Amino acid sequence: MPKTRLYRVLIGVLAGTLIVLAVIGYDVWTAIQAEEQQAGPLAARNTGVGGPFVLIDQDGQPVTDRDFADQYMLIYFGFTYCPDICPTELAVMASAVEQLAAPQDVAPIFITVDPQRDTPAAMADYVSLFHPRMVGLTGSEAQIAEAARAYRVFYQRVESAEFEEYLMDHSSFVYLVDPEGVTRLVFPYGTGAEAMAAQIEEIMLEDRSPAGTAL
């Protein structure tokens, strides 16, 4: 084979290989892109916490999670007789909501784990101390148990030597649930209002951007 023909063949093979590699590369790249676009929201949505609830609000009206379908819910479980942790957490929630660009898009919600004492009237008095729009939800023991189970909230009545009234042991997390009913964030106790607001803002921005991807 003459040298020039060999070169031509080699160049042809090389060019062909490059084209094949380029096509494969492009496919892989677009596949990765597509996966990345899904990964963000999917990963955040897969918290496995939360679910539907049927409860009674502070006006004595039945309320379900779907009544908040045009808003985000910022949910905390506790009880009005709580000496310390609940009031602190509710104050943090209220402050976080007020730091948002669109506070009205988030409903701060307090769900009692002590429906025996936390009647709608007791809830009305209590939530108004923290935020004018805070919703106080109570219900039957069974309704509360079901809501708590959905959010994996532990609670248990305990007698205390220090206090005359019984107390409730309960887990202490704040949940951000999006308008589709998906729990997007779970804040541990001790999260500051500013940090909470910043993370909520990030989710809301992400959801508002056209492609649904992070900015």
Piece of 10-18, 52-60, 77-85, 136-144 that binds Ni ion (CB under 5 A): 77-85
Q: Which is nearer to Ni ion, 82 or 106 (CB)?
A: 82
C-beta closer to Ni ion: residue 56 or 82: 82
Least distance to Ni ion, CB of residue 113, Å: 8
Angle at 139 between CA 133 and CA 142, to 5 degrees: 140
Q: Report if residue 78 touches Ni ion, rule: CB under 5 A.
A: yes
DSSP characters over 80-148: TT-SSHHHHHHHHHHHHHHTSSSGGGEEEEEEES-TTT--HHHHHHHHTTT-TT-EEEB--HHHHHHHH
HSE, side-chain direction, 13 A CA sphere, residue 43? 8
Please check whether residue 187 is in contact with residue 196, taking contact to mean a CB–CB distance below 8 angstroms. Answer: yes
Q: Say which residue the tokens 């999670």 belong to.
A: 65
158 sits near Ni ion (criterion: CB under 5 A)? no
Q: Is 111 a binder of Ni ion (CB under 5 A)? A: no
Taking contact as CB under 5 A, which single stretch among the options 6-14, 86-94, 141-149, 185-193 is the one that binds Ni ion? Answer: 86-94
How many angstroms separate the most distant Cα atoms in the chain? 104
- Closest contact distance (angstroms) between CB of 70 and Ni ion is 29
- Residue range at the interface with Ni ion (CB under 5 A); choices 12-20, 32-40, 85-93, 175-183: 85-93
What 3-state DSSP class applies to 179?
coil
- Residue 75 is classified by DSSP as E
CB nearer to Ni ion: give 61 or 88: 88
N- to C-terminal Cα distance for the chain? 58
56, 86, 135, 137: which one contacts Ni ion (CB under 5 A)? 86
Binding span for Ni ion by CB under 5 A among 61-69, 73-81, 103-111, 146-154: 73-81
Q: Between 23 and 62, how does the x/- string for binding to Ni ion read (CB under 5 A)? A: ----------------------------------------
Footprint on this chain of Ni ion (rule: CB under 5 A): 78, 82, 85-86
